[in-house]
Amino acid sequence: MATASVNSLETRSARLAGLVSAARIRLVAAALAAGLCLAAFLALAWLAGGILLDLIAPLPVLLRTAVFGGWWIAVATALSVFVALPGWRRPLLDSVALRIERALGGIQNRLLTVLDLHRGGAATRGWKGDSAREGLVEKLVEQTETKLVGFAPGRVVRWWPLVRGAGLAAAVVALLAGMQAGLGERFAVTLDRLLHPTADIPPATWLQLASPGEIEVLQGDGLEIKGKVTRGSVDGVDLVISSADGRSRREPMRMEAPGLFSAALEGLDADATYRLEGGSTWTKTHAIHILKRPVIDTVSRVVRLPEYMRIDTPRPVSDDAVRIDVPQGSTVDFVAEVIGGATSGTLKILDRKLETTMVERIDERVWFEDDLPRDAVAPTPWKWTTSHAAGGLRAFTFGFDGRPLEMRTRLEPLVLPKESLDDRALMVMVRSDAADAPTRLSMQLAHEGGGLELVWGDDAAGPPADLRVPRVVVGPLPRAGEWARVTAALSALPQIVGRPITAVTFAIDKGRMLLDRPGWMERSMQPLQQPVDHSLGELPLRRKYDGGETEASGSTTWLGELSVAAPAADSGATARPNPFWATLELQSAQGHPSRPLAPVEILATVDRPPSLVVEEPQAESLSLLPGDEVDVSVLVFDDWGIDQVAFVVGPDAEHLGDPVAIAEVPLIHRPPESQLLVSTTISSDRLGLAPGNTAIWKLAVRDTKGQWAQSRPFRIMVLSPQEVPPPSSPLPALDEALREATQALRLAEKNEDVLDRKREETLRAIGEEPLKALDRAEEATAAAKQAATVAAEKAADPQATLAEQADAATAASAEQQKATEQTAAAQQQTDAAAAALAEPAKQDLQTLDEYLERRREDVGQVAARLDAAVEQAKSSSQVADSQREQLAAAAESARDLQKSLQPSPQFQAEAAKVDRLADAPKPSEIANRLEEIAQQARAVAQQLDAAGKSQQLESLAEDLARRANALDVLGQQRQDLQANDGQPPAAATQAALDQQARNDVRQINQILGPDQRPAQQPPSPPKKAATDPLDALIDSGKEAAREAADSAARIADQLAGRQPPAPDGALQAQQQGQAKDGQPSEGQPGEGQPGEGKQGEGKQGEGQPGEAVNPQAGAPPPSAKELDSLLSSKEVKQALQMADRARRLQEQASRRAAEKMAAGQQSSSEQQGQGEGAPGATPTGEPTQTATDGGAKAGRAALKEADLRGLDAARRAAIYKLPPRVRDPLLEGMRQRGPAAYQEVIDTYFRNLGRDIPQ
């Protein structure tokens, strides 16, 4: 029993001890909780303080590091003091028991005694087994239990520290939550900056910048970095670039738009970092990674020409050439020196097209700039400055007092347009001071009807300048620090549109501002064309190994071949456009391309056919005698090379033979010449033509491509004695008049009988009364005109009285009234008669009227041609006065006929047709009068033709007489040389005289022809026989020349009308009869011999050939029939053939003399005059012709020396055809190379100048 009691007491005391232990746990837990709250409060408060400090003023890294370290120290100290220490220093159970006893009261240390009893302390030891003491313990335990009934361990815990700590912590947490809610991202950024103090995190200000982030760019490429202001606003942003070695540079960024900035960087070669800085913030630092790429060091281009050109050396292309002209079939080689690890490459072929985009265009109409208008009146002087100007030299600004700027003008007002108001606006250029910018700009405009005030900026910044003037708020002011245009749409300003603005006042509220260029502007959209390249394909590049490349050098050579073929050669492939573009691109192993090269334009040119310029002969029609030679001079051009120069001959231009090469052309096979000067001769033998044959010949040239080009066709005629080319007419207009008259006569004679019958029938159908009415109306009109003339004369006569003038005026008015009435009546009556005609008659009337109108036009053309012929005759010395009178008469007849066919303006419509039909001549009469006009013109033309042939024969007579006299002189010289004191003549002198005599006789025989030569026709027996055969040849030659001269002179007199024409077949008899009548013998020229009297004046009665034997010099001119018979006679034809042969001999001698003279002037002045023939062999020199030929030769030499290879053959030929005054300076400039540094520029200039010459 005692044992059970003891056990019960121990259990109960243990329970009480456990209650104390539970209370101690509660106390420790409360202390730890309060400490944790205090530590959290301190940590969060420290953090909140750091956030507030960084928000107020962004902390640098050092301070952020201090805040971060202090936070950790504060947290550690708070945990140590408020958590670790209370947890380590727990209260004793006795202390807890005393706290419980004090909390309950009245226990009086009973709980301590129970704890001691439970622990077996010295005070309570030995109670077991002692019943008295057991009872006392039991009572103690019972009393303690009684006191502790309902006791909770929390009653001894002091909750205030915990509540205080929790409240403080909660307050800080609420503060942080409020900051998070209010600041948003700024709170997180600031917290991140504090928790990572050394990280590159921008401060969380109200200004926030955004950057592109990490950037990768190819080496050498340009880079544009754009920054954006995502929150707030800032005036400027800087780009800070940092290289790997720590060096940094700052680049200001350009504002593209509000809140958008950009900065362009040149090609970077190494990695770098960047960040954007603006205001009080910046962005994170990001890296710029440079991607290595191949670098094309140099590119050379050469052109390999086609094989057919036979040019083995490739043509290099200038390094700075932007276009390569390449003949079709060539190959362009691209050779590139590449630095870096290039593993592959391509030759890109591009097509460039123009793409059109619409861009805005602003046209300004400035009111005044740099100064006020000339008549401007300003109350106070305006202040002008040159430090900044928007467009001109000066801008105006406000003074230090800010007084408004006023101005009035009358002569130069600002007139705003009335049209297209939506696209037009009032404007002024402004620039605010960034340090002291105004907030408002006012522009007050005044006109005669009132005014208007325009405000930009804050309208509330100040009151209106004038309360009576309405105010319009246009918009905000632009950003300060730069020029900007402020505008006001005219559609919003109806008060001032179309009115002249005569006064303006500018005002600001504060600060400083510059203004310039007030006026109005117009916006419009216009197309802008920009070239865009499109890929056409790629060709691979191949690496070239020449043994000199090493891995250490880092340089490799790449080769690309581009064939430029003709479009037809691209079979199966898409034809490339012409021109196209090409460029190179190399790739590294990572696929990074090289920096783009500017594409070069490649123009595939066509090897054009050659071209040639024939300098000699000039005439397109040549007449040769057998054995004659004609000089041929031709300049040959080709783009690349000449292969052959040849003749082609045929009966006509469509049937030419095979080319026959010219042996005088020295050809060079490789490389061929592109320009040649060919000089040769042609003759009938060389062309294979017999006398009497006519052929067409051309010069032909072939280039190395096989293309032929031919000159213009030349007609060559090998003359026989019966063929003489017709002379040209002295009056070209007369020939045209004859053609017009013949054509008009042919048309007039067509169906003239039918038209006469229809005319009679139509007039009969009209009736006599309408015709008489028309006549009466015309007579009345004529009378009215006569009366008006009399009235005008009376009015102008000062001696006439007023009554006489009044009577004349009254009579004129009455006649005019009568004419008007009769005209109206005739018009009405004739229209009615025409309307009543049957339909066939109406058609006949219309047909006859059209016939008369066409004949009027034809006759008008004939009259115009005859008038032109009359004017030409007035200035021609070859036309006689009688011929001029005949031409004038023919022209007058044509005008009269035209006038008779003119419709009368007095009548209208059908009456006018009937009137003209009645008054005009019959169709048969028209044809007869046209025939008379044609006969008159034909007679004049025949007389002019005869006069021209007469002049030819007169020239022939003079030439033959001169040659006969020359033979007389040579014969006398030979006789004098042989009779020189019995001494033998010098061999050289004798040989020269003999040769000269033979040449003169040969030329006379050539002129006379085979039918008239002395060898075939026995000459008249000489009075003195010649013993020397050469003397006999000279005698026969001069006698034949004199006989032919006399015959030509007589025929010339007959053609000119100075002698009556001989009948057919009587000319030879007349010649023989005159010879029997005592013609002077040879060697003794008399007064009437040819060559003695007439020397080319051509005047009648002054030494004309045959004058001494012509007693009928004043005979009347021959009739047309006589002239026609004379011109068609055989004797006249033979004489004209001799004249033509003599003319050709003279031309050939003149040309050769001029060539010798030019050659002598070029070689030495001492040689001038040498090589000329004996007297009579060559005519007088022609300086004009000599100078012209010399200039042509000099031009050919200059053209050959000048470098014209850059031009095609056609343009080189066009340069040669230029006048010498234009061509020679151009060629001289091409020959003079100039300084070496400018040779390419000079050559390009002259080539471009040559391309501008039209072909």
Among residues 1180, 723, 719, 628, the alpha carbon closest in space to that of 959 is found at 1180
Amino acid identity, residue 1234? Answer: G
3-state secondary structure of 314: coil
Per-residue CA distances from 1191 to 1106, 1170, 1186, 1196, 1216 (Å): 44, 21, 9, 9, 12
What pLDDT does residue 813 have?
A: 84
Q: What is the DSSP string of 832-873?
A: HHHHTS-HHHHHHHHHHHHHHHHHHHHHHHHHHHHHHHHHHH
Torsion angles phi and psi, residue 298, rounded to 5: -140, 155
Question: Tell me: the pLDDT tens digits for 713-745?
Answer: 988 888 764 444 555 667 777 777 778 778 877
Per-residue CA distances from 535 to 540, 541, 587, 983, 1252 (Å): 14, 17, 17, 100, 33
- For the CA atoms of 491, 493, 498, 504, the dihedral, rounded to the nearest 10 degrees, stands at -140
Q: Please state which of the ranges 112-116, 246-250, 779-783 shows the lowest mean pLDDT.
A: 112-116
| Angular region, 601: left φ>0, alpha ψ -120 to 50, beta rest | beta
- What is the number of H-type helices and E-type strands within the chain? 26, 40
486 confidence band (pLDDT: 50, 70, 90): very high
Among residues 878, 831, 629, the alpha carbon closest in space to that of 732 is found at 878
What pLDDT does residue 653 have?
A: 82
What pLDDT does residue 1193 have?
A: 37
* d(C-alpha 771, C-alpha 911), whole Å: 10
Domain 206-291 has CATH 2.60.40.10: yes
Among residues 518, 467, 514, 464, the alpha carbon closest in space to that of 488 is found at 518
What pLDDT does residue 137 have?
A: 66
* d(C-alpha 629, C-alpha 1005), whole Å: 18
Q: What is the DSSP letter of 35?
A: H
1107 confidence band (pLDDT: 50, 70, 90): very low
The CATH T-level fold of domain 295-356+529-605 is: Immunoglobulin-like (2.60.40)
What pLDDT does residue 1179 have?
A: 32
At residue 196's C-alpha, the angle toward residues 191 and 197, to 5°, is 100
As a whole number, mean pLDDT of residues 475-494 equals 90
**More confident: 187 or 147:** 187
Find the distance separating the first CA and the last CA of the chain, reported in whole Å: 152
- Say if residue 1071's pLDDT is above 60: no
Question: Tell me: the pLDDT tens digits for 529-558?
Answer: 888 989 989 999 998 876 544 444 467 899
Q: Please state which of the ranges 144-158, 337-351, 469-483, 820-834 shows the lowest mean pLDDT.
A: 144-158
Domain 612-720 has CATH 2.40.50.100: no
Among residues 411, 410, 403, the alpha carbon closest in space to that of 380 is found at 403
What pLDDT does residue 184 have?
A: 78
875 within 8 A of 732, measured Cβ to Cβ: no
- Say if residue 428's pLDDT is above 90: yes
1085 confidence band (pLDDT: 50, 70, 90): very low
* d(C-alpha 309, C-alpha 990), whole Å: 59
149 confidence band (pLDDT: 50, 70, 90): low
**Residues sharing a CB contact under 8 Å with residue 255, sequence separation 6 or more, in sequence order:** 236, 261, 479
What pLDDT does residue 667 have?
A: 59
- Say if residue 607's pLDDT is above 80: yes
- Say if residue 1137's pLDDT is above 50: yes
Please, what's the b/e burial string for 583-619 (b: 16 or more CB within 10 A of its CB; e: otherwise)? Answer: bbbbbbeeebbbbebebbebebbebbbbbbbbbebee
**More confident: 478 or 130:** 478
What pLDDT does residue 8 have?
A: 67
> CB atoms < 10 A from the CB of 527, how many?
8
Please, what's the b/e burial string for 1060-1074 (b: 16 or more CB within 10 A of its CB; e: otherwise)? Answer: ebbeeeebeebbeeb
456 within 8 A of 441, measured Cβ to Cβ: yes
CA 608 to chain centre: 24
3-state secondary structure of 448: coil
**More confident: 589 or 428:** 428
Tokens standing for residue 435: 């340090």
| Diameter over CA atoms, the chain | 222
Question: Tell me: the pLDDT tens digits for 40-67?
Answer: 888 888 888 888 887 777 888 788 888 8
- Say if residue 1019's pLDDT is above 70: no
Within 13 A of 315's CA, how many CA atoms are on the CB side? Answer: 19
**Residues sharing a CB contact under 8 Å with residue 209, sequence separation 6 or more, in sequence order:** 202, 227, 228, 229, 230, 234, 237, 276, 278, 281, 282, 283
* d(C-alpha 274, C-alpha 260), whole Å: 17
* d(C-alpha 431, C-alpha 479), whole Å: 8
Per-residue CA distances from 1130 to 724, 1125, 1207 (Å): 12, 10, 57
3-state secondary structure of 596: coil
335 confidence band (pLDDT: 50, 70, 90): very high
Q: Homologous superfamily of 360-526 in CATH?
A: Galactose-binding lectin (2.60.120.430)
As a whole number, mean pLDDT of residues 1062-1067 equals 52
What pLDDT does residue 303 have?
A: 93
As a whole number, mean pLDDT of residues 1208-1235 equals 63
Strand partners, 385: 395
**Residues sharing a CB contact under 8 Å with residue 880, sequence separation 6 or more, in sequence order:** 943, 947
What pLDDT does residue 856 have?
A: 82
**Residues sharing a CB contact under 8 Å with residue 187, sequence separation 6 or more, in sequence order:** 51, 179, 180, 204
Q: Cis omega (within 30 of 0) on the bond before 567?
A: no
Q: Which residue has the tokens 């004659």?
A: 628
What pLDDT does residue 558 have?
A: 92
Torsion angles phi and psi, residue 226, rounded to 5: -115, 135
| Element containing residue 486 per DSSP (H, E) | strand 484-489
**More confident: 579 or 1111:** 579
pTM check: above 0.75: no
At residue 206's C-alpha, the angle toward residues 205 and 207, to 5°, is 85
Crossing angle of helices 732-749 and 923-978, rounded to 10°: 150
* d(C-alpha 942, C-alpha 744), whole Å: 20
**More confident: 348 or 61:** 348
582 confidence band (pLDDT: 50, 70, 90): very high
Q: Which segment, 154-168, 926-940, 986-1000, 1142-1156, is predicted with the most confidence on average?
A: 926-940
952 confidence band (pLDDT: 50, 70, 90): confident
Within 13 A of 147's CA, how many CA atoms are on the CB side? Answer: 22
What pLDDT does residue 1082 have?
A: 38
- Say if residue 619's pLDDT is above 60: yes
600 within 8 A of 362, measured Cβ to Cβ: no
| pLDDT, the chain, mean | 76
As a whole number, mean pLDDT of residues 1076-1099 equals 38
- Say if residue 423's pLDDT is above 70: yes
* d(C-alpha 1228, C-alpha 1205), whole Å: 16
At residue 209's C-alpha, the angle toward residues 207 and 213, to 5°, is 160
- Say if residue 1217's pLDDT is above 70: no
Pairing of strands 629-637, 675-683: antiparallel
Q: Is residue 1098 classed exposed, middle or buried when 0-12, 13-18 and 19+ CB atoms within 10 A define those classes?
A: middle
Say whether 360-526 and 295-356+529-605 share the same fold.
Answer: no
At residue 499's C-alpha, the angle toward residues 493 and 500, to 5°, is 125
What pLDDT does residue 985 have?
A: 52
Domain positions in the chain are 2-181, 206-291, 295-356+529-605, 360-526, 612-720, 748-920, 942-1160, 1184-1255
As a whole number, mean pLDDT of residues 405-419 equals 92
As a whole number, mean pLDDT of residues 757-771 equals 80
Among residues 857, 639, 640, 842, the alpha carbon closest in space to that of 744 is found at 857
3-state secondary structure of 605: strand
- Say if residue 385's pLDDT is above 90: yes
**Residues sharing a CB contact under 8 Å with residue 328, sequence separation 6 or more, in sequence order:** 306, 564, 565, 566, 569, 604, 605, 606, 607
Q: Please state which of the ranges 133-137, 309-313, 792-796, 938-942 shows the lowest mean pLDDT.
A: 133-137
Tokens standing for residue 307: 């094989």
**More confident: 1135 or 399:** 399
How much of the chain exceeds pLDDT 90, in percent?
A: 12
Among residues 369, 371, 380, 365, the alpha carbon closest in space to that of 505 is found at 380
* d(C-alpha 324, C-alpha 300), whole Å: 12
| Element containing residue 948 per DSSP (H, E) | helix 923-978
Torsion angles phi and psi, residue 357, rounded to 5: -125, 150
CA 966 to chain centre: 68
Among residues 291, 109, 128, 134, the alpha carbon closest in space to that of 214 is found at 291
* d(C-alpha 677, C-alpha 673), whole Å: 11
Torsion angles phi and psi, residue 509, rounded to 5: -85, -30
